[in-house]
Structure 1
């Protein structure tokens, strides 16, 4: 199976192989428990594939994002969409489902309760990707002011109307335009979410606090962004050293 190649000579992705291995492990575990199988052969042969994506995680620094946002100033809807994506770290589907009713400007919050998809020409609103995805995010003051002003200028926009009545394709195009104009590296829309997490890590926030904000489990933040905590291992080692020496 691992050596399988399709007619274009391409094999299964590491993530797909990892998924298959997990399923086989679960099946054999069931057989060991209920059908007297002596051992789990999937465990014996070891793991195949990888949980990590083939796609490299890229991020924009704050400085790179600010440069990019300058190119969005000429399009009101684009500027505010990317402001929410970068400074709140929400998923693009969550962004496109936002309505005026989701904002509490008195408290300075935005509630994430749904997600938008366009499937076969139809607008589909679903619940967030995970149960943790339902959350209330505190916005920085400048973003509260920006969004309040933006929504107030939306002619005929009702409380349950989408404030960003566009598709992912529009955002993809705008990201390419802005990155090209500002001569900064091109990243995916989802990488704006990674950029937000990276920014919070750099500011010193814990995995638990970040996870609550972006709708993840804290263990997922630790696993997926471990490489962005470069000084933490040194800090742990130094603290243990000081503890042993009685400092």
Structure 2
């Protein structure tokens, strides 16, 4: 530490370095501003006493994420970390040059996210940050997580967006405009099996048993992995492992497409049913869906515009609305969809309520 007089202005200033464990971690310089040497000495002492060594030694957001991800990969399945990495890349882009250890900075960021994104996506960002700082506390990088002082909007009064889905007749109208055998089989699989998009992308011919009329679900594909040598990962949950029966209409569509697929150079048990040696891309699937719905409506069929995931909702709706009169239960539906009964009731509660109303109508009319 040192003080120095500016011979031109006659004012005193100070300069020096701060070390930590024998290493220079910070250099400082204050040019003038003090009339007396003693004032400069006191100012430098105060500067050094107030200097936060711990703050300077904290890793940057990039460095913290790089330390965290190897640990996180030991805690969850690969598909989860792949999706988490996308969130952390976003955080690095948007928070990297800010003091992200400051709760006020984090709160301001979450507030902006709340105005731009869905409740579910904001929760993903919020909990990704929470996990990151929990790790930092565990590694003694910081003493307490700044996320303890950050809240997200519960959006208690927000109306849940109504689910979009196809009724069976609407799906058949959509299917009627599709001529390509692969696309007919692909969208029929989504509708009549209710499997998730990634599960459909991961289907291989070895998973389809025409003799027993079943389809085995044992893997999934996420977009980030599609072009990897092995693009498949384990499915979402242990309940997702399942073998489910196929209806006659789907078997016909798959057999029609199989005749075409056998002519492909890559055809075999390992070939992806709706791809080749690699799964179909999610973007291609999305574009095809939009195209066929637009074509159906151009022909005057007036069907709803639904997303790929809404085919799963459509299947669930179809089953729930028909379970009472056909002798299967919510447990059977959950097993087919690869979910728990609790999840089915949480997601499709309004449809079960409609079924309950029908039960009351029956009881009132029967007495």
Counterpart of 2:345 (choices 214, 222, 227) is 222
Distance 2:289 2:191 in 1: 12
Matched, 1:108 2:213: yes
Cross-structure match for 2:333:
210
Cross-structure match for 2:317:
198
Distance 1:181 1:126 in 2: 35
Q: Deviations over 1:11-65 (max 9, x none)?
A: 67433666769x99xxxxxxxxxxxxxxxxx9xxxx9356x99654211111110
Matched, 1:161 2:268: no
Q: Deviations over 1:73-96 (max 9, x none)?
A: 2x2221110010000000111111
Larger RCO (CA within 8 A; separation ≥ 6): 1
Counterpart of 1:69 (choices 160, 175, 185) is 175
Structure 1 residues 1-247: aligned runs within 5 Å? 1=107, 5-6=111-112, 10=115, 13-15=118-120, 48-49=154-155, 55-73=161-179, 75-119=180-224, 122-123=227-228, 124-154=231-261, 155=263, 156=265, 157-165=267-275, 166-183=280-297, 184-204=303-323, 205-229=328-352, 230-233=354-357, 235=359
Query: How many residue pairs are counted as aligned between the two chains?
Result: 218
SS in 2 for 1:119: helix
Asked if 2 retains the 8 angstrom alpha-carbon contact of 1:132 and 1:215, the reply is yes
Asked if 1 retains the 8 angstrom alpha-carbon contact of 2:220 and 2:234, the reply is yes
Distance 1:82 1:104 in 2: 19
**Quick one: structure 1 residues 140 and 234, their matched pair in 2 at CA, closer, same or farther if it must change by over 3 Å?**
closer
Distance 1:92 1:80 in 2: 14
- Following superposition, the deviation at residue 178 of structure 1 comes to 1.5
- Following superposition, the deviation at residue 219 of structure 1 comes to 0.8
**Quick one: structure 1 residues 232 and 2, their matched pair in 2 at CA, closer, same or farther if it must change by over 3 Å?**
farther
Give the alignment's TM-score, normalised by structure 2: 0.52
Q: Where in structure 1 do 4 or more consecutive aligned residues deviate above 4 Å?
A: 1-4, 16-21, 52-55, 236-239
Distance 1:107 1:176 in 2: 33
Where does the alignment leave 5 or more consecutive residues of structure 1 unmatched?
Answer: 25-41, 242-246
Asked if 2 retains the 8 angstrom alpha-carbon contact of 1:198 and 1:228, the reply is yes
- Following superposition, the deviation at residue 149 of structure 1 comes to 3.3
Q: Which structure would you say has the larger Rg?
A: 2
**Quick one: structure 1 residues 3 and 117, their matched pair in 2 at CA, closer, same or farther if it must change by over 3 Å?**
closer
SS in 2 for 1:222: helix
Give the alignment's TM-score, normalised by structure 1: 0.75
Distance 1:213 1:9 in 2: 35
- Following superposition, the deviation at residue 142 of structure 1 comes to 2.5
Cross-structure match for 1:30:
none
Where does the alignment leave 5 or more consecutive residues of structure 2 unmatched?
Answer: 1-106, 131-147, 298-302
